[in-house]
Amino acid sequence: MAARPAPLTFDVYVAPSVPTVSDDLPPGAEQRWWSPISATLIAGQRDAVLVDALMTVGQARDLADWVAAHGKRLTAVYITHGHGDHWFGLATILDRFPDARAFAVPAVIEQMRRGSTPEFLASFWKSRFPGQIPDDLALADPLPSNTIGLEGHDLVAVGLGHTDTDETTCLHVPAIGLVVAGDAAYNDVHLYLAESSPQGRRDWIAALDTIESLDPRAVIAGHKRADRDDDPRIIEETRRYIRDFDRIAETTNTARELYDQMLALHPDRVNPGALWGAARAWKR
């Protein structure tokens, strides 16, 4: 009889909030910030798979050091979605771990490509993070069969459609009841809703229903408060935040009204600037 695969473990790295260059500041703020970003290492006895690769040169280097400290052979990096803050560090990771290959589903690769044109890099990313975005960017390869193998276990890419952007995915690890949710779930951080129309918000709630149907024991949010656990309750917390935004958006006339009323309901979440950006996207 074949031996059972060794159990998997996971660990989460959270890059802290970093300041951005912006003159569109939330009311009363003197600085705009970018939300903390997570990356997850799923490990067996010898090998490991990293999920997402962070954004700036410094973040990617620190992440590579953290991965190396686990003492595992990195075999793959999986990218959950096309937002650059989750994959611009990929080339740095691949340079550090030459045995690893980067994977994403084809729709995410197309989003990566669209979000990294020279024009968009200059206008959006490099203007906000001058001197911090890597000059060399690496795209992922298409993931065969939507599955990554890790020491006899399957890590399964699950399509979610629209969450905080189009064509997002999560990575499901059934053996340990883990869902690495990318930006489908947020953990005590204000949601980025600037790309989510009313229909997009409905689609996002459907995506959360999909994650919930996997019956996870742990859910890793792409943006999370570093000292908070990864309990699946964040699925409902994210869902409630979206529904609150929907309801308040229908009864307010200005971005400031929407921002103030949402902040009153969710005063302690990290990075109100993300909420301000969402309010400004859908109200004037």
Q: Where are the domains of the chain?
A: 9-185+216-230
In this prediction the pTM is 0.96
CB 67 within 8 A of CB 52: no
Q: Which residues of 169-200 are buried (b: 16+ CB within 10 A; e: fewer)?
A: bbbbbebeebbbbbbbbbbbbbbbbbebeeeb
What's the pLDDT tens digit per position in 215-256?
Answer: 999 999 999 999 999 999 999 999 999 999 999 999 999 999
**pLDDT(3) > 70:** no
Fold of 9-185+216-230: Metallo-beta-lactamase; Chain A (3.60.15)
pLDDT, tens digit (0-9, with 9 covering 90-100), for 98-130: 999 999 999 999 999 999 999 999 999 999 999
Neighbour count for residue 202 (Cβ, 10 Å)? 14
pLDDT, position 2: 55
User: Cα separation of 41 and 47, whole Å?
Assistant: 10
β 101-104/73-78 pair status: parallel
Q: Are 80 and 183 in contact (CB under 8 A)?
A: yes
Residue 272: predicted pLDDT: 97
23 token code pair: 């003159």
Confidence of residue 205 (pLDDT cuts 50, 70, 90): very high
The C-alpha atoms of residue 75 and residue 151 are separated, in whole angstroms, by 11
Q: Which two tokens stand for residue 201?
A: 């918000």
List of E strands, 4-110: 9-15, 18-20, 32-34, 37-43, 47-51, 73-78, 101-104
Confidence bin at 52 (pLDDT 50/70/90): very high
